[in-house]
Amino acid sequence: MKRRKSLTGSLALLLALVLTLGIVCTTDAEAKDKVYKWSFFSAYGPGDSACCEVWPALFEKVKRATNGRLQISVFWSGEHPYKGSDMLKVLRDGQAELAHFYGGFLTSVEPVFGIDAIPMLFPSDADESFKITLKLWGDLKQNKDGVLEKILEERWNASMIHILPATQQRIHTKGYAIEGIGSLKGHKVRVYSPELATLVKILGGTPVSIGFGEVYTALSTGMVDGLTTSVYFANQGGFFDFCDTVNLWELMAAVDGLMVNKKALDELPPDIRKTFLDIINESAMKPERAELMTNAYVLEQLIKQGKKAYVPSKANRDAVVERCKKEIWEPWIEQAGTDGKAALQQVNDVKKTF
C-alpha cells in the first residue's frame, strides 16, 4: 500500500515537472517572438526641429534591425495630453517609454536641467559646447559621472541616450548692431526667460516678454526692435521682414534630447536592447549636425539677400561674460542649489581641457 502511494506521488511529481518544463519552454519561445511596442512623446510638432526628422528615422531603423520586434510609435505635441514640462513625469510614471527633453521646458521641475539656457556660460564654438553637454549626460552611456545623467537616473528612472546640438541663440536687430555693454540703450528686445532679460539689461536695453506669435506684429509696430531666437526660427517667423542684423553673440547652446525609461530599457531582451542602443548611440556620436547645418545655410542665404552678420570683439564679449557671472550665473546657482554647483563645476572642468 505504501509502495503504491509512493509510486503515485512520484508520477504526480514527474507530471508536474513535465508541465513546468513545458511552460518554461513555451515562455522562452514566446519571449523570442514577442513584439515590444513603445511610445515616444514629443514636445514639438513634426516640423519644429531637426530632431523631429532624425529620431523617427532612427526608430524605423531599429524596427528593421530587430525584425519588427521593437516598434516605436511617435506622438507629436497635441497627439498626447502632455506639455514639455511634463516629460520627466511621463517617463517616471510609464506613460511612454521614450520622451523628448528640452531643458527650457523642464526648469520648473528640475532647475539644473536649464544649465544650457544660461546666457554666455557655454563656449561660442558649437563643437566645444557639444563636448561639454556630452559630459554632463555621461557620454550617453548611462555613466553617472555625468551630473545631469545621475539626476535623471536616480530621480526619474530615466536615461539620456541621444542629443542633437541646436543652433546658438542669437539677437536679431532692426537697424543696429550690438557691439557690447551699453549698445542696447534705447532699444527694446523680445526675450523669453528671466536670464535673457538680465542679459538685455546688461547690454543696456529694455527686455520685453511676449509670446513668439506676437513678435511679428511687435516688430512692425515698433513695440520691439530686436529679439532673441535662432536664425531658423526668426526666418520662419518672417522677422527678417524688419530685422537686418544677426548679432553672433552665441548666447546659449541648448540641445534636444531623447530620454528612455530605465525599467522599459532593462526589460528588453539583451539582443534587442543592444541593437536599439547601438543604433541610437551611433547616431548621437557623429554627432548629428542637421540643426547647425540648417541654421548656417539660412544665415548664408540672408547675407546674400543683404542682411548683416555682426561678430563682437573678444574684449567686448569677455566684458559681458564677467557681468553675466555676477548677475546671471550666481543667482542661477542659488536657485539650482547643490545640483547647480556640481553641474557648473563639471562645465568649468571640461572648459579647461580646450
- DSSP assignment of 61-72, as one string? HHHHHTTTSEEE
237 and 283 fall within a common domain = no
What single-letter DSSP state applies at residue 281?
Answer: H
95 and 159 fall within a common domain = yes
pLDDT of residue 209: 94
43 and 192 fall within a common domain = no
List, edge to edge, every strand of the sheet that includes 255-261: 70-75, 36-41, 98-102, 255-261, 158-165
Task: Please say if the pLDDT value at position 24 is more than 80.
Answer: no
94 and 186 fall within a common domain = no
> Considering the domain boundaries, does residue 265 fall inside one?
yes
Task: Please say if the pLDDT value at position 3 is more than 60.
Answer: no
Confidence of residue 86 (pLDDT cuts 50, 70, 90): very high
**Grid cell digits, residue 47:** 516640423
Average pLDDT, the chain: 90
pLDDT of residue 167: 76
312 and 228 fall within a common domain = yes
188 and 155 fall within a common domain = no
Burial string for 12-39 (b: 16+ CB within 10 Å, else e) reads eeeeeeeeeeeeeeeeeeeeeeeebebb
Task: Please say if the pLDDT value at position 17 is more than 50.
Answer: no
> Considering the domain boundaries, does residue 56 fall inside one?
yes
Question: How many Å apart are CA 260 and CA 100, to the nearest integer?
Answer: 9
DSSP string, 283-335: HHTS---HHHHHHHHHHHHHHHTT-EEE---HHHHHHHHHHHIIIIIHHHHHH
> Considering the domain boundaries, does residue 195 fall inside one?
yes
Q: pLDDT > 90: what percent of the chain?
A: 76
> Considering the domain boundaries, does residue 245 fall inside one?
yes
> Residue 99: which of 255, 254, 253, 257 has the closest Cα?
257
43 and 144 fall within a common domain = yes
Range(s) of the domain holding residue 53: 34-166+254-294
Write the CA distances from 102 to 253, 306, 346, 351, integer angstroms. Answer: 12, 33, 20, 22
Q: Which of 10-14, 184-188, 331-335, 340-344 has the weakest average pLDDT?
A: 10-14
> Considering the domain boundaries, does residue 68 fall inside one?
yes
158 and 176 fall within a common domain = no
**Grid cell digits, residue 128:** 566645444
213 and 290 fall within a common domain = no
> Considering the domain boundaries, does residue 26 fall inside one?
no
Beta-carbon contacts of 259 under 8 Å, excluding residues fewer than 6 positions away, are 87, 88, 91, 98, 99, 100, 101, 152, 158, 159, 160, 161
Write the CA distances from 63 to 35, 99, 276, 284, integer angstroms. Answer: 10, 18, 9, 18
> Considering the domain boundaries, does residue 47 fall inside one?
yes
> Residue 243: which of 222, 263, 271, 258 has the closest Cα?
222
Q: Which of 107-111, 186-190, 265-269, 315-319 has the weakest average pLDDT?
A: 107-111
245 and 285 fall within a common domain = no
Give per-residue pLDDT as tens, 154-208: 999 999 999 988 778 999 999 999 999 999 999 999 998 889 999 999 999 999 9
Burial class (CB in 10 A: 0-12, 13-18, 19+), 62: buried
Total domains in the chain come to: 2
Beta-carbon contacts of 138 under 8 Å, excluding residues fewer than 6 positions away, are 144, 145, 146, 148, 149, 150, 160
Task: Please say if the pLDDT value at position 4 is more than 90.
Answer: no
Q: What is the CATH number of the domain that holds 214?
A: 3.40.190.170
90 and 155 fall within a common domain = yes
85 and 181 fall within a common domain = no
> Considering the domain boundaries, does residue 300 fall inside one?
no
Backbone angles phi, psi at 159, to 5 degrees: -145, 145
